[in-house]
C-alpha cells in the first residue's frame, strides 16, 4: 500500500472531522431554534426538553400576522439596510479611489482618522448620537437612522475598497489616460469592473451589518423606524418570553441574510481570494 496515499487519506479524514465540528458549533443553535419554533410555547418550557412532539407552523403565522407582526419591521429593515448599502457604495467607491490613487493633502492622517472611527466602542457613541439626532428632530426617522449607519459603514467600506483598488496595476490606468480617458472614465471603465468582487463583498458586509444592528436601532428608532431586530423584542416581556414565536421571528429575519449569502457565495470567495493572491504574489 502506498504510504503517500495513506497519508493523504488520513489528512482528508482529519480535515472533514475538524470542519464538521466547526460547522456543528455554528449550526447547532440554528437547529435548536428551528426545533423550538415548531413547538408550542408550553412544550418549549418542558423539562427535560421533549424530543417527540406535534410540530406546528402556528408560531410562524403568529410572528408574521399576529398581534406582534414583524412584517412592517421587515420592510423597515429592508429600507434602512438597502439605503445604507447603496449610499455607502456610492460614496465609498470614489473615496477609496481618491485614497488609492490621488495625491491628496493630508492623505495619511485622513486615512488614519477614517480607520480610527472604527475603534470607538459603539456604546460610547449612542448617547452623543441620541443628543444630536434629538436636536435635529431626526430621532425615529429613516434619514437619521441611515446617516448614523453610514458613520460606521463608510469608513469600513472605504478601507476595504482601497485595498482592492491598490491591487489594480497603475499602468492599466495610465494606458487608459493615453487613450484619452478622463479620471472618471477610467474609474468607470477600468477600475470599477475590476473591483466588482470587492464591491460585492462590501455590499454584503454593509447590508448584513445594517440588517443585524440592534443597539442604535433600539435607541434612535421608535414607532416609525422599528427594524426587525427591535420588533422581535416584543416577544420578550417582563412577565414572560414567548420562545417559540421569538425563534420563528428570528428565523424569518435571518432568511434574507441566508439568501444573500448563498447567492453571493461565489463572489465573496472570489473577492476575498483574488485580493489575497494578487497581494501575495506582488510582495
Q: Which of 64, 86, 125, 190 touches another protein by CB under 8 A?
A: 190
Q: Which residues, numbered 15-54, are part of the site for another protein (CB under 8 A)?
A: none
**Which three cell numbers, joined as nine digits, stand for 57?**
407552523
Q: Is residue 82 a contact partner of residue 89, using CB atoms and an 8 Å limit?
A: no
126 to 165: interface string for another protein, x by CB under 8 A: ----------------------------------------
Please report how close the Cβ of residue 277 comes to another protein at its closest, in angstroms: 14
CA pair distance 237, 250, nearest whole angstrom:
16
Q: Which of 50, 117, 182, 273 touches another protein by CB under 8 A?
A: 182
Closest by CA position to 199, among listed 270, 282, 279: 270
Q: Is 227 left (phi over 0), alpha (psi -120 to 50) or beta?
A: beta
Please report how close the Cβ of residue 228 comes to another protein at its closest, in angstroms: 37
Choose between 39 and 101: whose C-beta lies nearer to another protein. Answer: 101
Q: Which of 12, 151, 185, 240 touches another protein by CB under 8 A?
A: 185
Say which DSSP state 10 is in. Answer: H
Please report how close the Cβ of residue 141 comes to another protein at its closest, in angstroms: 40
Please report how close the Cβ of residue 266 comes to another protein at its closest, in angstroms: 16
Identify which range of 9-17, 130-138, 176-184, 225-233 contacts another protein by CB under 8 A. 176-184
Q: Map residue 241 onto helix, strand or coil.
A: strand
Q: Which of 1, 25, 119, 178 touches another protein by CB under 8 A?
A: 178
Closest by CA position to 147, among listed 216, 222, 76, 229: 216
Q: Residue 148: which residues within 8 A CB-CB, separation 6 or more?
A: 129, 133, 216, 220
Is the bond into 48 cis (omega within 30 degrees of 0)?
yes
Name the site residues for another protein (rule: CB under 8 A): 169, 171-172, 174-182, 185, 189-190, 193-194
Amino acid at each position: 500500500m502506498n504510504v503517500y496515499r495513506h497519508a493523504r487519506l488520513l489528512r482528508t479524514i482529519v480535515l472533514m472531522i475538524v470542519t464538521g465540528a466547526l460547522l456543528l458549533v455554528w449550526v447547532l443553535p440554528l437547529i435548536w431554534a428551528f426545533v423550538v419554533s415548531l413547538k408550542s410555547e408550553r412544550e418549549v418550557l418542558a423539562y427535560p426538553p421533549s424530543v417527540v412532539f406535534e410540530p406546528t407552523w402556528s408560531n410562524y403565522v403568529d410572528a408574521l400576522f399576529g398581534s406582534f407582526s414583524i412584517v412592517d419591521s421587515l420592510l423597515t429593515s429592508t429600507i434602512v439596510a438597502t439605503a445604507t448599502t447603496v449610499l455607502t457604495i456610492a460614496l465609498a467607491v470614489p473615496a477609496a479611489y481618491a485614497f488609492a490613487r490621488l495625491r491628496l493633502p493630508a492623505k495619511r492622517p485622513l486615512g488614519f482618522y477614517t480607520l480610527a472611527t472604527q475603534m470607538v466602542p459603539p456604546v460610547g457613541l449612542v448617547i452623543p448620537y441620541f443628543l444630536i439626532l434629538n436636536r435635529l428632530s431626526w430621532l425615529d426617522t429613516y434619514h437619521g437612522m441611515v446617516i448614523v449607519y453610514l458613520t460606521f459603514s463608510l469608513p469600513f467600506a472605504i478601507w476595504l475598497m482601497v485595498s482592492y483598488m491598490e491591487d489594480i496595476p497603475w499602468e492599466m490606468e495610465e494606458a487608459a489616460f493615453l487613450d484619452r480617458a478622463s479620471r472618471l472614465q477610467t474609474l468607470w471603465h477600468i477600475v470599477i469592473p475590476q473591483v466588482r468582487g470587492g464591491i460585492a463583498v462590501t455590499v454584503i458586509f454593509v447590508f448584513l451589518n445594517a440588517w443585524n444592528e440592534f443597539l442604535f436601532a433600539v435607541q434612535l428608532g421608535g414607532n416609525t423606524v422599528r427594524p426587525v431586530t427591535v420588533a422581535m423584542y416584543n416577544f420578550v416581556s417582563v412577565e414572560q418570553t414567548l420562545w417559540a414565536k421569538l425563534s420563528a421571528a428570528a428565523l424569518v429575519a435571518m432568511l434574507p441574510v441566508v439568501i444573500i449569502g448563498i447567492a453571493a457565495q461565489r463572489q465573496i470567495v472570489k473577492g476575498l481570494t483574488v485580493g489575497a493572491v494578487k497581494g501575495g504574489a506582488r510582495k
